[in-house]
A and B are shown apart, each in its own frame.
Chain A
Amino acid sequence: SQTIHQWPATLVQPVGSPLSLECTVEGTSNPNLYWYRQAAGRGLQLLFYSVGIGQISSEVPQNLSASRPQDRQFILSSKKLLLSDSGFYLCAWSVRRAETQYFGPGTRLLVL
């Protein structure tokens, strides 16, 4: 069966520090991968999605970036965090576009 992992589970970072969140999927090949952010406990906003290695599409202009160095690995990064980057970050995968997306456990990020 397929599983999706995210780490760290919780992160507290100062403003201006870098960020790296990792997501890995097991049990499937060539998945579509997604990063969402949920701010203030509500509303999921798509940040990035990827249909293959090295292929990243950005939905929201911001100081975040994403990379997919391996087939089942998706990384969310920032060079300098802002207070507004605080939130709950969820990674998801699907077999293909418009199919069910399955979510990881999430990372709670607090920028102080």
Chain B
Amino acid sequence: AQKVTQAQTEISVVEKEDVTLDCVYETRDTTYYLFWYKQPPSGELVFLIRRNSFDEQNEISGRYSWNFQKSTSSFNFTITASQVVDSAVYFCALTPPGGGADGLTFGKGTHLIIQP
């Protein structure tokens, strides 16, 4: 069965520190996509990144970077020089299984608190 595990329930760091959010997934599919979403206090889920299972290159977007390692089934997210505005719940998600329902499989989320 598909599963996404975000073992860190809550992380609290001081502003300007680097922080890494972990994501481990399970799937039987050979082709799949992984996602990260940000949920600020307002509640709306904001799309951050989509990564194809065949593309293991790390990606960097400003202060955000993602490390995809297929060998360990992990797709970790690092925020460099964190800011208070980064405070949110972050979700990792996986595409639907082949032939299965269309919904994404979400982890339970990591609540990130950036203290000033």
Contacts and interface: CB of A to CB of B under 8 A. Distances in A.
Interface of A: 32, 34, 36, 41-44, 46, 49, 51, 57, 59, 88, 90, 92, 97-98, 100-106, 108
Contacts of B45: 44, 90, 92, 103
Contact of B102 (A42, A90, A97, A104): A97
A102 B47 contact: yes
Interface of B: 32-33, 35, 37, 42-47, 50, 89, 91, 95-96, 101-104, 106, 108-109
B103 A59 contact: yes
A43 B106 contact: yes
A105 B43 CA distance: 7
B101 A105 contact: no
B102 A32 contact: yes
Given A34-B102, A49-B103, A59-B103, A43 B47 contact: no
Given A43-B106, A43-B109, A46-B101, 13 more contacts: A34-B102, A36-B103, A42-B89, A42-B108, A43-B108, A44-B45, A46-B103, A92-B45, A98-B96, A100-B47, A101-B35, A103-B47, A105-B43
